[in-house]
Amino acid sequence: MPKLRRTTTTHLAVLRELEVVRVHDVTPGMRRLTVAGPALGERVVEGPDGQPVTLPAFTSPGFDDHVKVFVPPSGAERPVLPRQRPDGLDFTTEGVRPLGKDYTPRRVTPDEVELDFVRHGHGQAAGWAERVRPGDLAWIAGPTIGQAFPHGVDAFVVAGDETALPAIGRFLEELPPGVPAQVVVEVAGPQDEQDLVVREGVDVTWLHRGAGMEPGTTTLLADTVRALPWPAGDVYAWMAGESTAARDVRTHWRSDRRVPRDCLDVSGYWRR
């Protein structure tokens, strides 16, 4: 029976109508939307038997949690939204289904949630993030699953592209003092490097795709991860990014580094 390194908690899916209160480009390639409003708190809805049911306040316990951000389908002004039920969300609609895209809450306070959008210039979520202005509405749901920070770990190896930067930023803030970590992040160029919390024993390497190289078209991240020296002890390996890169890194960590399942967390965050 493998050890469990992360405690999982599940949360009722709650749709929250919020207001965009700030729009700020952290770097040229990353737009930060800060959303806020009373809907981050608890609210009471009517249950099936007419009794009041309390929907929980927003919480994001895991550094790599994600919410669904509901965005308008092509050509529409407003998103199609799921309906809130006392026991979760109902996605059945007569026409277009709700379009919810996954984003990591970069910073959470009782009053605000920050979401960082890669400005990749193609999709509905990326396009919505370009258009919205302070005062506009935003709809999010989740996180419905949260995993606590891994425990009983001697060292971390962490990698990702810019879609993983919100999770990696939180990871570095939550990393316990004294636990070493090697972190590799792929971005377009030096202008897209972010200020991250880098404690003693943490080594952050920024990889630059370089001018004209589209995300998801190089093997830079997987090649660099393959060449990393491997720390001693129980190593937790976390990676997120483009699906092909994620597959390569997962194969390397499983086959070459023999990382046990309870210490391996690799996710394809998007597909080129």
Ligand X SMILES: Cc1cc2nc3c(=O)[nH]c(=O)nc-3n(C[C@H](O)[C@H](O)[C@H](O)COP(=O)(O)OP(=O)(O)OC[C@H]3O[C@@H](n4cnc5c(N)ncnc54)[C@H](O)[C@@H]3O)c2cc1C
Residue 266 burial (C-beta neighbours within 10 Å; 0-12, 13-18, 19+): buried
Question: Exactly one of 124, 144, 224, 243 binds ligand X (CB under 6 A); which one?
Answer: 124
- Work out whether 125 is an interface residue with ligand X (CB under 6 A): yes
**Positions in 208-247 near ligand X (CB under 6 A):** 215
- Work out whether 117 is an interface residue with ligand X (CB under 6 A): yes
Q: How many residues bind ligand X (CB under 6 A)?
A: 21
Nearest residue (CB) to ligand X, 113 versus 180: 113
Nearest residue (CB) to ligand X, 124 versus 218: 124
- Work out whether 102 is an interface residue with ligand X (CB under 6 A): yes
Q: How far is CA 88 from CA 12, 85, 207, in A?
A: 6, 5, 41
Q: Nearest residue by C-beta to ligand X?
A: 123
Which range binds ligand X by CB under 6 A, 46-54, 96-104, 131-139, 143-151? 96-104
Question: How far is the C-alpha of 22 from the C-alpha of 170, rounded, in Å?
Answer: 20
Q: How far is the CB of 92 from ligand X (least distance, A)?
A: 22
Question: Exactly one of 21, 36, 53, 126 binds ligand X (CB under 6 A); which one?
Answer: 126
Nearest residue (CB) to ligand X, 166 versus 180: 166
- Work out whether 86 is an interface residue with ligand X (CB under 6 A): no
60: helix, coil or strand?
coil
Nearest residue (CB) to ligand X, 180 versus 187: 187
- Phi, psi (5° rounding) for residue 163? -70, -25
Nearest to 13 by CA among 142, 104, 137: 142
Question: How far is the C-alpha of 148 from the C-alpha of 16, rounded, in Å?
Answer: 23
- Work out whether 103 is an interface residue with ligand X (CB under 6 A): yes
Q: 88 with 13: CB under 8 angstroms?
A: yes
Nearest residue (CB) to ligand X, 82 versus 105: 105
- Work out whether 70 is an interface residue with ligand X (CB under 6 A): no
- Any idea of the CA torsion for 173, 177, 183, 189, to the nearest 10 degrees? 50
Residue 153's H or E segment, with its range, is: none
Nearest residue (CB) to ligand X, 116 versus 180: 116
Alpha helices in the chain (DSSP H): 124-131, 165-174, 220-227, 243-251
Where along the sequence are the contacts to ligand X (CB under 6 A)?
Answer: 66, 101-104, 116-118, 120, 122-126, 163, 166, 215, 269-272
